[in-house]
Structure 1
């Protein structure tokens, strides 16, 4: 650790405002800059390029060298080298007052060798796929116009039923025209058909716990599978999702190809980013270059652990804040990324988030989405500066609405119930969530991310089944305290024994209670004011077999089974219909608190029922009046509605914008465990 007075000096004096840290390439010149104000000496360690794992000897090629760097103002060490250094590898070697030195990868590295062991110099313009210069972000006028779809790159395509050639890879998103045996779309075409606006990708920066050299061997046991919440290099794409992890340019080019393919289909790309902690503390480049600066400490000098993973990044410090903003801007500008979801946003100070949002929206694009988890994992010394629910008010970013989540489904992993899963007395809280949490913690609906499940905890199907007492009936996985699976020798054996859809009659899918409760839960999300997010596979009744933390459970648990689309096509059609309803009718996407207060009117609430009316005229909607009714009771209900002619567009298991039937009196019969939506043009 560094002395407190030196740390203060770093914060107050040795801060650098330039945007050229890392490597800057010109035609025949290469500039290196690294911030390490406590070092008394800095060397650039330069290594020749690798081709196929062995040095490629060329007449004019530099040999391995240790080159002294020059100390500049504001804690910067710099070096300028002549010649073309494309594909050369490099490291930094700082030496400190006490004589100790170490080797560090550049924190600003834009390319790395396999498993991130060294930085690599690349000309980024050579990594652009064909058509990249013409790439245009999908238009997004307001965050509430988005429909987010959370997805893990590998899960998307790894199962044989995906029909995808580039299984588990970025390039899987470039494959079009794929269909199953009954003609249903698969892969990226499925996403287009579903109607979502943005794919929210679990971490795709370079993370530590997947061995990139062994990713294509059998990993069914989960030994080389991870969600990626263990950052190694923040500014480099993860290599295990590339066709070649050993070629530094390939992962960059294929990541851009994925973005381009999604953009060409009108779908934006959200990156899940994890700036709150790193995989390693003492061994991280941050700690090696500026000991004691990048991580928060407790009063006794130990690393604080608000992340629950051993450290937390000190985002409130000037150069840490700069790194985060530089990093996010780099992804937005170089990779055309359309938004960022912040893991454990509570551990990032609010000043950093406000500054980041203002800079991105002013200098890059006003359409970039920013949102995150407004909590930490454990106690943090950040204290009052934590970005929690309410701190996002008017600041240009949103937070996950776990209040609404709990009201709809109950707790995350247990038997606890919510409105859609059988709890009584949740109608008042549901009404608060439906109106964009404007009476809770937001200034407007664009500040709340509405959802019921994401990658963490039980997924929707498994959670609803658990609340119904079906965990044992369906033979779901039960983990003992030592991590073993009760009654089985392996995950594969356990999954083989499960029967997640035992209760479903294939001829009457939409009459199944578990199905109806799932559709009710996400139906509320998709028809409420705010920004909706659904987890990948919900529209296929995806199950993880009762595994509540599948981050290392491998493909056998996590892979999306695309054959379920034809098995549960009515469920997919229902989701597609609700998304179409939302996207075509702005009344479900009011922009402001004032609009919601004036134009979302309660009709009835209580006893497992909530009914309300939306003023379509106020939103310039083609439908003048819209009534939405949620019935969580197990019996049908007769509801009094305003008199007039009402066209029902959502009822039982049907959803969309086409009229199912017409009602002429002031009563409507609402089916058990369902949503009814109807409109009037007069």
Structure 2
């Protein structure tokens, strides 16, 4: 075997003069920027190249292992300092199937082994990186995999799911329960014949699946998968590798990669795009993390006292504004979009990241495919270290074209404010939330009829376009909708819960924003009243697939809402000017009622002058609408797009209690 490195490096190591390669910088801004493609391992049968960006190191080593866990290193390879803070080594031998770690020496202290920061394959629990040919992980047909067509972001309808929640219930009839492969199985069903798994998603009709963290995270021990373990996965370890706990064999690095690709390919064949939940704002560990052991201090922000800042609420916040962290994020999402054909990214606590970085990510993904969707939480868990006008906060969304944010205003106006589960809002008939509902209906853009009430107003209009606005009432965070309704209306019957769920989802799916539904809400899922169920057992988090039979009327209703939205572009105009031109709110004297008309035939819709009335009152309401003959397609908690529910002639529509009416001339 031949190992290429500088003789001088070896001599320095022998004589102990290790400080020759360690550089001191007065600020992080002085750290060198590496222009090339950031790859830490490049394999070929004849050689493997290793590289690590470690500008403050005295020495860097690569340690080779036979296994992904246990045993000692069988070879240590010194790396040579090259340009722009990079260290390199080349091994002229076929290392396929071997594992490696890096170790960096700074101020005469070895920082500890890591798989690097840019590992693309790892062994069990992600402690060692793996050497393999990525092309060998492609499943059959992968080169022919294509993204399902998408003409506009306005056409998107998102379904947020956790791998284990979705498929762990034995009633689902899925073999690979809790695994990536669960979403490749066709023909799965309950013992009563209800479709489950990917067939359920096709039946529902959503366009995008949002997967909770699927990269390698820390909280599940992959060596003990025979014991039930649960976590949402918001504790990143290796950002560029699928998590092993969702694979059928976490010990073999190629398995998790291949099975993730199989999942993406199966969803694409089903006409469904795939969104990854990404968590670049913090890492599971600070001291001892891959970042901190490689370039101490650089990848994290600190507060005025020099302590690690904590806007994430998880112990640290990453420094997206530093050049190499920004490069890291950009290259990471591009890697997922190209290697794994990912179609969208949801950014956890996006408000911690700076605007410039998010715009750089949008620009880089546009070069891959401009139909890749980006959205995130436009807030932080604490106060980030950058000025607010530099941060990707919700109120700065107007500065980030092509990037969307969740509307907590719409969510809270529908179901009640975050932080006080006992208080409901519009859906259960609490007055004073109509302004927030109207704000959500127009997709968060400026509209002459929104914020006209001097008492009840939305704090800020923040979206330039409706495709920057995520409309939702429930997600994995906090109580799911059913639990929230049970808390705010503790005496509600099951039928009342079904009725209110339908009303809430009607508001979401008739919004001009991008609608988003939490997995299981379509079958009245509950989590036994647990809000922060990030590590709760399956008994709390798993979707009970018997609910699809018990609450079939809710599923059918939401399925028809989705079909209606797909068939009628008036509900997804995708342009703020068109919304201002065609969407007009209808005056209603009573509280807890919002009515609007989609005037004319927006976007060439086959329906003309479509009227939607949301009645959250406990009694019927009669609404004065423009004169005409109306065909009613939604009434009293039922939708029938084909046959409808008769006609209404004149200028009045009477809408049943706690229900929506949709009619068109």
- State the alpha-carbon separation in 1 of the partners of residues 25 and 614 from structure 2: 56
- State the alpha-carbon separation in 2 of the partners of residues 206 and 567 from structure 1: 36
- State the alpha-carbon separation in 2 of the partners of residues 86 and 177 from structure 1: 37
User: Deviation digits for residues 33-62 of structure 1, max 9, x if unmatched?
Assistant: 110000011111112256xx788xxxxxx9
Alignment gaps of 5+ in structure 1? 56-61, 471-501, 505-511
- 1:656 Cα offset (Å): 4.5
Closer/same/farther in 2, CA of residues 76 and 577 from structure 1, 3 Å limit: same
- State the alpha-carbon separation in 1 of the partners of residues 594 and 221 from structure 2: 50
- State the alpha-carbon separation in 2 of the partners of residues 100 and 83 from structure 1: 27
| Correspondence for 2:17 | none
Which residues of 2 match residues 11-30 of structure 1 at below 5 A?
Answer: 11-30=29-48
Report SS of the residue matched to 1:294: coil
Which residues of 2 match residues 604-623 of structure 1 at below 5 A?
Answer: 604-605=587-588, 606-623=590-607
- State the alpha-carbon separation in 2 of the partners of residues 598 and 675 from structure 1: 23
1:46 pairs with 60, 64, 72, which one? 64
1:396 pairs with 387, 402, 409, which one? 402
1:469 pairs with 490, 494, 499, which one? 490
- State the alpha-carbon separation in 1 of the partners of residues 38 and 570 from structure 2: 46
Closer/same/farther in 2, CA of residues 380 and 654 from structure 1, 3 Å limit: same
| Correspondence for 1:406 | 412
| Correspondence for 2:559 | 576
- 2:373–2:403 contact (8 Å) kept in structure 1: yes
- State the alpha-carbon separation in 1 of the partners of residues 111 and 273 from structure 2: 44
Report SS of the residue matched to 1:438: coil
Q: TM-score, normalised by structure 1?
A: 0.89
Indicate yes or no: 2:513 matched with 1:530: yes
Aligned residues: 624
- 1:195 Cα offset (Å): 0.5
- State the alpha-carbon separation in 2 of the partners of residues 677 and 101 from structure 1: 64
Report SS of the residue matched to 2:392: coil
- 2:38–2:331 contact (8 Å) kept in structure 1: no
User: Deviation digits for residues 312-336 of structure 1, max 9, x if unmatched?
Assistant: 1111100001111111111110000
- 1:213 Cα offset (Å): 1.3
- State the alpha-carbon separation in 2 of the partners of residues 450 and 231 from structure 1: 27
Report SS of the residue matched to 1:645: strand
- State the alpha-carbon separation in 2 of the partners of residues 45 and 656 from structure 1: 65
1:311 pairs with 313, 316, 322, which one? 316
Report SS of the residue matched to 1:260: helix
- 1:348–1:386 contact (8 Å) kept in structure 2: yes
Alignment gaps of 5+ in structure 2? 1-22, 447-460
- 1:98 Cα offset (Å): 3.7
- State the alpha-carbon separation in 2 of the partners of residues 304 and 20 from structure 1: 26
| Correspondence for 1:228 | 233
| Correspondence for 1:671 | 656
- 1:619 Cα offset (Å): 1.0
- 1:374–1:399 contact (8 Å) kept in structure 2: yes
- 1:462–1:544 contact (8 Å) kept in structure 2: yes
| Correspondence for 1:93 | 103
2:307 pairs with 302, 305, 309, which one? 302
| Correspondence for 2:370 | 366
- 1:68 Cα offset (Å): 1.1
- State the alpha-carbon separation in 1 of the partners of residues 321 and 360 from structure 2: 11
Report SS of the residue matched to 1:16: coil
Closer/same/farther in 2, CA of residues 90 and 159 from structure 1, 3 Å limit: same
- 1:303–1:311 contact (8 Å) kept in structure 2: yes
| Correspondence for 1:493 | none
| Correspondence for 2:331 | 326
Deviates more, 1:605-614 or 1:587-596: 605-614
User: Deviation digits for residues 94-119 of structure 1, max 9, x if unmatched?
Assistant: 11234444222211111111111101
Indicate yes or no: 2:661 matched with 1:651: no
2:581 pairs with 598, 604, 609, which one? 598
Indicate yes or no: 2:226 matched with 1:216: yes
1:34 pairs with 36, 52, 60, which one? 52
- 1:26 Cα offset (Å): 3.2
Q: TM-score, normalised by structure 2?
A: 0.91
| Correspondence for 2:386 | 382
Which residues of 2 match residues 432-511 of structure 1 at below 5 A?
Answer: 432-439=439-446, 440-470=461-491, 503-504=493-494
| Correspondence for 2:294 | 289
- 2:31–2:55 contact (8 Å) kept in structure 1: no
- 1:337 Cα offset (Å): 0.5
1:636 pairs with 604, 609, 620, which one? 620
| Correspondence for 2:126 | 116
- State the alpha-carbon separation in 1 of the partners of residues 111 and 310 from structure 2: 27
User: Deviation digits for residues 529-559 of structure 1, max 9, x if unmatched?
Assistant: 0101000000110011111111111101001
| Correspondence for 2:155 | 145
- State the alpha-carbon separation in 2 of the partners of residues 310 and 10 from structure 1: 21
- State the alpha-carbon separation in 2 of the partners of residues 408 and 107 from structure 1: 42
- 2:25–2:31 contact (8 Å) kept in structure 1: no
Closer/same/farther in 2, CA of residues 63 and 556 from structure 1, 3 Å limit: closer
- State the alpha-carbon separation in 2 of the partners of residues 574 and 305 from structure 1: 43
Report SS of the residue matched to 1:642: strand
- 1:386 Cα offset (Å): 2.0
| Correspondence for 1:84 | 94
User: Deviation digits for residues 2-28 of structure 1, max 9, x if unmatched?
Assistant: xxx955555345111211421122342
- RMSD (CA atoms): 1.7
- 1:200–1:272 contact (8 Å) kept in structure 2: yes
Report SS of the residue matched to 1:74: coil
Indicate yes or no: 2:426 matched with 1:426: no
User: Deviation digits for residues 59-94 of structure 1, max 9, x if unmatched?
Assistant: xxx981111111011100011222221121001111
| Correspondence for 2:342 | 337
- State the alpha-carbon separation in 2 of the partners of residues 83 and 616 from structure 1: 70
